[in-house]
């Protein structure tokens, strides 16, 4: 059986992929893969996703250089979510934070930025 047959893609032919840092164990981001993105991720050893907003395949870090080298790929019990453990270059979030989950609900019930900022997005992506 091909490993792809074990994946339960959703109605949009996508599967959510959680990306976790293999060194720090931080959850870095979640994005969606279609079958081609999964195949390219497995073949190339770097993460590829399907952009729902741009409707195209993208390689994480292609423009920023902040690549994610794949170390482990895990599948959950019902086959509808992937967990990809990676070695992250730079930072995962386009805002400059190391993880996309940089905001935390505080005791006043407000989301507050508590994450680590590791790069200046203007320098990496250019001023907009």
Summarize as ranges the residues that interact with a second copy (CB under 8 A). Answer: 1-3, 6, 16, 18, 20, 25-27, 29-30, 42, 72-78, 81, 83, 93-95, 97, 100-105, 109-111
Rank residues 46 and 101 by Cβ distance to a second copy and give the closer one. Answer: 101
Tell me the sheet residues that pair with 72. 85
The two beta strands, 82-88 and 15-21, are: parallel
DSSP 8-state symbol, 111: E
**Cross-strand bridge partners of residue 96:** none
Least Å distance, CB 89 to a second copy, is 18
Q: Tokens at residue 52, please?
A: 């729902």
Q: How far is the CB of 55 from a second copy (least distance, A)?
A: 16
CB of 126 to a second copy, least distance (A): 18
Question: Judged by CB, which is closer to a second copy: 56, or 110?
Answer: 110
Which of 23, 79, 84 is closest to 48 using CA atoms? 84
């Amino acid at each position: 059986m091909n490993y792809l047959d074990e994946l339960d893609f959703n109605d949009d032919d996508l599967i959510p992929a959680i990306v976790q840092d293999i060194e720090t164990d931080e959850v870095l981001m979640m994005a969606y893969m279609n079958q081609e993105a999964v195949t390219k991720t497995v073949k190339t050893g770097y993460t590829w996703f399907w952009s729902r907003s741009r409707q195209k395949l993208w390689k994480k870090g292609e423009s920023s250089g902040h690549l994610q080298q794949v170390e482990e790929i895990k599948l959950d019990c019902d086959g509808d979510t992937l967990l990809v453990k990676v070695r992250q270059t730079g930072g995962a979030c386009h805002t400059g934070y190391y993880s996309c989950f940089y905001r935390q609900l505080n005791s006043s019930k407000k989301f507050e930025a508590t994450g680590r900022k590791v790069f200046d997005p203007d320098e990496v992506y250019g001023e907009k």
